[in-house]
Structures are given as structure tokens and as C-alpha cells.
Structure 1
Amino acid sequence: MSYLETTHDVYKEAALTPDVGLCCTTNPIWELPGLKIPRIMQEMNYGCGSTVHARDLTNNPRVLYVGVGGGMELLQFSYFSRQTSGVIGVDVVDEMLEASRKNFLEAETQNDWFKSEFVDLRKGDALNLPVEDNSIDVAAQNCLFNIFKAEDLKQAIAEMHRVLKPHGRLVMSDPTCEQPMNNTLRNDERLRALCLSGSLPIADYVKALTDAGFGTIEIRARKPYRILDPKHYPTDELIYIESIEVAAIKDPMPDDGPCVFTGKAAIYFGEEEVFDDGKGHLLLKNQPLAICDKTANALASLQRDDIFISESTFHYDGGGCC
């Protein structure tokens, strides 16, 4: 049995018998005005964060969500879209698609604005999406890509890039791990399916996105997720896993490489009211400016004593140098 078959079986069982502890969601279940999330959707929220952000969802976007779970994030996306087939949900597990259909009927009884027809559920594979090229404003996946091994991950990201419109965005939440994992952990198909042993370092995760052609990357959140300890897992040392929320934007790739925002800022505190680096970046005196890592390195190379550059917070909330 391949690791993808194991994953299929794990989520088939999770569809038939909801497993509240399957993933450790790092976000509270938030509700918007007029939005009620059925309890069954909350119980089947098999993610490690959130991919639903209001600033991504203006002007009735067309949304793609891969790996539907119990339908909670599809419902949240529909809140912003509110059009027939405005949200496409893709899953390879028939039982999960059927469970979502039932959950949407329950959502209709609790939300007078919601209609099940807002969501177009499609049987499909993340490695071969049943979606046309350049047709999606916002694509999303939650705690799915970390399951894939290297070549499948490359293909899954390429598929998301294919279906997005120019300047569209891929919004993700996935576990990450900065410590090395032994081969026993890496090759354990069930632990990979449970979103544990496939976790990559953040730098490798970002590189997979930029290699696919995404010109702008935003790391929006970094949070504690799980512990793999020697008493319960095949490891000699305690391994700490975090989750990150990331947006990869289908911007053209700059000639000097991608713009990757990891939560750095620059503060100019010199004698003039503004500092111009000659490359399109204006730093107003004593006003923090969010900067990508590329701009941070360029400013640092000037070796000025009147510009402070913060360390990465791994929390970026928009705006800044690019």
C-alpha cells in the first residue's frame, strides 16, 4: 500500500466517524456576523490553522479548496463569495465529499444566506485538479501538502499555480519542523497521513513554492503544533512541530528573485525626514516599514547606523516594500 492509499483510508474513516483529535487546529473556530458553523463541521475540521482571510476575499472571488474535510472552510469561503459554484471543493475521498454534502444541508438550516449550490464539490486529485487553467482567484489547502513526498508536492504546487489567475493567491496552512527527522519517521505512512512526519523546514517549504514560479510569498503566522516524543514515536529526541500560514501569490518572478516576507521591518531614525534607497523604497523617519527578506539584506549591506532592521517574526499582515 502506498502512502497516498494510507492517507485515503485515514480520511475515509474520518469521514465516516468524525475524529476530533485527528488534527490539532491552532486557530479558534471563528464566526462572522450572520455566519453559524454547524457543530459537525467543527468536529470534522481536519486542519492545522486557517486559510480564510477577509483581505484575500474581496469582490466575490472564485475560490478553490482542495481537501474538503467537513466543509467548514468551504462554508466560510462561501460567506464572501455567495454565488453559484463560487467555491469549488475538490477531494479524492468519496466519503468525505458525501459527508460535506450532508453538512451543507445542515448549514442551510442555520444560515439563511447560504445555499448548497454556492459550493461545487468535485471528485479529484490534488495532483491533477479538475479545474481549468487561470480560472481561480484564491486557492487554498489546509494540512494537506505536508503529506506529500517531494515529487508529489512539486506536482501539487504546480497544479495550484496552473489554475490560479495572474496575481491570484494560494493560501495554505501546514505543519513545519526545523529539526531533522529520521527515516523511520519519514517513511511511516500513517504518521505522514496524520500530518506529522512529512513536515518540512520553512526554508524548504518556501523554496518549493518559489521553484513553482510564485513571485511573492507571505508567511502570515507561525504557531506551536505538536510534539513527537521518544516514549510514543520512533525517535531518540523530542521533536517540535509548528504550523505556519502562508500565502503564495502568482506574481511575476522578479529578476533578482522572489519577495519573501517573514515579518521583518525597517525603521529609519536619521536626520532627514525620509530615506530613499534608490530602489523604490522610501523609509519615513521613525515609521516602521514591512520589508521582504531581499530588501532587508540590501538595506543591511548599506551598513548605515541610522536604519534598524528587525529579526523575522514570521507574522506578516500586508503592506510594505513590494
Structure 2
Amino acid sequence: MSYLEATNDLYRDAALTPEVGLCCTTNPIWQFPGLSIPKIMQDMNYGCGSTVAAQDLVNNPKVLYVGVGGGMELLQFSYFSRQKGGVTGVDVVDEMLEASRQNFKVAEEENDWFRSDFVNLVKGDALNLPIEDGSIDVAAQNCLFNIFKTEDLKKAISEMYRVLKPHGRLVMSDPTCEQPMNDELRNDDRLRALCLSGSIPMKDYIKALTDAGFGTIEIRARKSYRVLSPNHYPTDELIYIESIEIAAIKDPMPEDGPCIFTGKTAIYYGDDDYYDDKVGHVLVQNQPLAVCDKTAAVLSKSGEPFHISESTWHYNGGGCC
């Protein structure tokens, strides 16, 4: 049995018998005015963060969500895209698609604005998406891509890039790990399916996105997730795993490399009212400006009086690029 088959079996069981916190953290459930999320959807929230952000979801976007879970995020996306087929959910597991379909009937009873035909459920593979090129405004996945091994991860990301419109957004949440893992952990298909042993360092995760062509990367959250301890797992040391929320934007790749936002800010405190670097960044006296890591490095070497903050690993737009 391959690791992908093991993953499908795990989530087939999870669809038939919902298991709260199966593989991931119990994340806060974002509520919006007039939105009621059925309890069954909350019980089937198999994600390690959230991919739903209001700033991404303007003007009735076409949304793609891969790995439907119990349908919770599909319902949340529908809140912002109230049109027939405005949201497409893709999953390879028949039982998970059917569970979401049934959960939408409950959602219709609890939300007078929602109709099940707002969501188009499609059987499909993240490695070969049944979606047209350049047809999606916002693509998302939650705690799925970390399961993939290197070549499959590259393929899954390239598929998301393919279906996005220019300047479209790929919004994701996944576990990451900065420590090395031994082969026994890496090759344990169940631990990989449980969103544990497939976790890779953040820099490798970001590189996979930029290698696919995404010109702008936003780190929106970074938080504690799990530990693999020697008394419970085949490891000689305690391994700490975090989860991140990240957006990759299909902007043209700058000549000097991608713009990666990790939550740094720059404050100009010179004698003038403002500082203009002549390449698009104007910093007003003593006012913080969110900057990508690339701009932060340039400003810090400019010889001008700047305070450059450390990465906060939290960024929600409004920055330098």
C-alpha cells in the first residue's frame, strides 16, 4: 500500500465516523454575521489552521478548495461567493464528498442565505486537478500538502498555480518542522497521513512555492502544533512541529527574486519628513511600514537611519510591494 492509499483509507474512515481533532489542532472557528456552522462540520474540521480570510474574498471570487473535509471551509467560502458553483470542492475520497454533501443539507437548514448549489463537489486528485487553466481567483488547502512527498508536493503546487488566474491566491495551512526526522518517521505512512512525519522546514516549503512561480509569499500565522516525543514515537529526541498559514500570490516573479513577507517592519527616523528609495517604497517619518524580507535587507544596508524589526511571522497585507 502506498502512502497516498494509506491517507485515503484514513480519511475514508474519518468521513464515515467523524473524529474530533483526528490529525490536527482544534482551530478557532471563524464566525461571520449570519453564518451558522453546523456542529457536524466543526467535528469534521480536519485542518491545522484556517484558509478563510476576508481580504482574499472580494467581488464574488471563484474559489477552489482541495480536500473537502466535512465542508466547513467550503461553507465559509460560500459566505463570500454566493453564486451557483462559486466554490468548487475537490476530493479523491467518495465518502468524504458524500459526507460534505449531507452536511450542506444541515447548513441549508441553519442558514437562510445558503444553497447547496453554491458548492460544486468534484471527485478529483490534487495531483491532477479537474479544473480549467486560469479559472480560479482563490485556491486553498488545509493540512493536505504536508502529506505529500517531495515530487508529489511539487506537482500539487504546480496544479494550483496552473488553475489560478493572474494575481490569484493560493492560501494554505500546513505543519512545518525545522528539525530533521529519521527515516523510520519519514517512511511511516500512517504518521504521514496524520499530518506529522511529512512536515518539512518552512524555507523548503516556501521554496517549493517560489520554484512553481509564485512571486509573492505572505506568512500570515505561525503557531505551536505537535511534538513527537521519544516515549510515544520512534525518535531519540523531542521533535517540535509548528503549523503555518501562508498565502502564495501568482504575481510575476521580480527580477531580484520573490517578495517574502514574514512580518518585518521598517521605521525611518532620519531628519527628513520621509524617505523615498526611488523604487516604490516611501517611509514617512516614524511610521512603521510592513516590508518584505528583501526590502528589509536593502534598507538595513542603505546607511540611512532605519529600525528593522525581527520577523513576527504574521502579515495581513498593506506592505511595501
TM-score (norm. length: structure 2): 0.99
Matched-pair contact (CA < 8 Å) for 1:26–1:224: no
Partner-residue secondary structure (3-state), 2:161:
helix
User: Is 1:189 aligned to residue 189 of structure 2?
Assistant: yes
Q: Distance in 2 between matches of 1:244 and 1:195?
A: 13
Partner-residue secondary structure (3-state), 2:158:
helix
- Tell me what 2:110 maps to: 110
Q: Distance in 1 between matches of 2:260 and 2:29?
A: 28
User: Is 1:142 aligned to residue 142 of structure 2?
Assistant: yes
**Shift in alpha-carbon separation, 1:78–1:103, aligned structure 2, 3 A:** same
**Farther off after superposition, 268-277 or 64-73:** 268-277
Matched-pair contact (CA < 8 Å) for 2:289–2:320: yes
Q: How does 1:127-138 map to 2 (within 5 A)?
A: 127-138=127-138
- Tell me what 1:308 maps to: 307
User: Is 1:283 aligned to residue 283 of structure 2?
Assistant: yes
- Tell me what 1:319 maps to: 318
Can you give the 5+ residue segments of structure 2 that lack an aligned partner in the other structure? none
How far 1:277 moved relative to its partner? Answer: 1.7
How far 1:248 moved relative to its partner? Answer: 0.2
Q: How does 1:240-319 map to 2 (within 5 A)?
A: 240-304=240-304, 306-319=305-318
- Tell me what 2:120 maps to: 120
**Shift in alpha-carbon separation, 1:164–1:285, aligned structure 2, 3 A:** same
Q: Distance in 1 between matches of 2:52 and 2:316?
A: 14
Can you give the 5+ residue segments of structure 1 that lack an aligned partner in the other structure? none
How far 1:26 moved relative to its partner? Answer: 5.3
Q: Distance in 2 between matches of 1:160 and 1:186?
A: 25
- Tell me what 2:43 maps to: 43
- Tell me what 1:179 maps to: 179
Cα deviation code 1:266-307 (max 9, x no counterpart): 000111000112222111110000000110111122243x10
TM-score (norm. length: structure 1): 0.99
- Tell me what 1:70 maps to: 70
2:73 maps to amino acid: E
1:177 maps to amino acid: C
Q: Distance in 2 between matches of 1:314 and 1:278?
A: 27
**Farther off after superposition, 164-173 or 30-39:** 30-39
Matched-pair contact (CA < 8 Å) for 2:24–2:195: no
Partner-residue secondary structure (3-state), 1:12:
helix
Q: Number of residue pairs matched?
A: 321
Q: Distance in 2 between matches of 1:220 and 1:34?
A: 26
- Tell me what 2:156 maps to: 156
- Tell me what 1:204 maps to: 204
- Tell me what 2:92 maps to: 92
Cα deviation code 1:48-80 (max 9, x no counterpart): 000000010000000000000000000000000
